[in-house]
Structure 1
Amino acid sequence: MPEMRFTIRWPDGEREQCYSPSLVVKDYLTPGESYALADFLARIREALSIASARVAARYGFSCSRAMAQLARLEAAGRAYAPHPEARVAVEAFEE
């Protein structure tokens, strides 16, 4: 399975490199775009869940690394939740 990394920028300007075991993230996020926090989290939750399911279909077990990445993004996102204008930018994909 082709894995990928993608770089995001949180509302405070902090950059984070993220991981997906599948290229499905490309179907949900676009480099150069920014998303309202809730929209970003919904998109990445869907993408990483699909990616993990693809791993499970192929290897018989879900991808714990994808689920850990999702947990990390959701935890970080909670810090910005009180700010309705918070946006997350997708800076780049790396395959």
Structure 2
Amino acid sequence: MPEIRFQIQWPDGTQEICYSPSLVVKDYFTPNQSYSLDEFVTRSRIALMIASDRVKAKYGMPCSLALNQLDKINHQAQQYQGESLSLEVKVIHFIEF
């Protein structure tokens, strides 16, 4: 399966490189575009669950790396709870190997 990474910028300016075991994230994110925090988390959940399901269909078990990435995104997003409603996450670019 082709894997991909995508670089994001959190509302506080910190950047992170996220992992997906599938190119499906390209269907949910556009490079150089910002998403509201809630929309980013929702899109991440959908894309990474689809990616994990694709791994499960091929190898018989879900992708722990994709599920761990989703947990990490959820945890980081919770750090911004109670802050301004206009928080955004920017998808900077995709990193393909």
TM-score range for the pair, normalised by the shorter chain length: over 0.9
Structure 1: 4+ residue segments shifted above 4 A: none
Segments of structure 1 that go 5 or more residues without pairing to the other structure are none
The answer for the alignment partner of 2:81 in structure 1 is: 81
| Structure 1 residues 26-47: Cα deviation after superposition (integer angstroms, max 9, x where no partner) | 0001111000000000000000
Paired with 1:43 and 1:81, the residues of 2 have a C-alpha distance of: 18
Segments of structure 2 that go 5 or more residues without pairing to the other structure are none
Q: Supply the RMSD in Å over aligned alpha carbons.
A: 0.5
Question: What TM-score do you get using the length of structure 2 for normalisation?
Answer: 0.96
The answer for the alignment partner of 2:28 in structure 1 is: 28
Question: What TM-score do you get using the length of structure 1 for normalisation?
Answer: 0.98
Aligned length: 95
Between 79-88 and 7-16, the greater mean CA deviation after superposition: 79-88
Secondary structure in 2 matching 1:31: coil
Paired with 2:27 and 2:56, the residues of 1 have a C-alpha distance of: 19
Paired with 2:40 and 2:62, the residues of 1 have a C-alpha distance of: 22
The answer for the alignment partner of 2:37 in structure 1 is: 37
Paired with 2:49 and 2:82, the residues of 1 have a C-alpha distance of: 25
Q: How does 1:1-95 map to 2 (within 5 A)?
A: 1-83=1-83, 84-95=85-96
Paired with 1:38 and 1:30, the residues of 2 have a C-alpha distance of: 16
Paired with 1:66 and 1:78, the residues of 2 have a C-alpha distance of: 19
